[in-house]
Amino acid sequence: MKGNEVKSMTDVELEKKLQDLKSELFNLRFRHASGQLENPVSIRTCKRDIARVNTEIRARKAKA
């Protein structure tokens, strides 16, 4: 996910995307603990996507 994609989303879409990313991170961690995760880098990219979404949400709240 790119920063431009995050900035073009609405507030509702950002909240939904954040929920989806958090559940995806939970599933990735669970699969990693059980040894079924093929690509451990996907955990890092998921965390970064969560950070991007959180940053945009906080930036919008600061403007309001």
**pLDDT value at residue 55:** 96
Give me the architecture of the 3-63 domain, per CATH: Orthogonal Bundle (1.10)
**pLDDT value at residue 31:** 97
Structure tokens at 60: 């919008």
Q: What residue spans of the chain are helical by DSSP H? A: 3-7, 11-33, 41-63
pLDDT tens, 2-42? 889 999 999 999 999 999 999 999 999 999 999 999 999 99
Predicted TM-score (pTM) of this structure: 0.92
Residue 64 has pLDDT above 90, yes or no: no
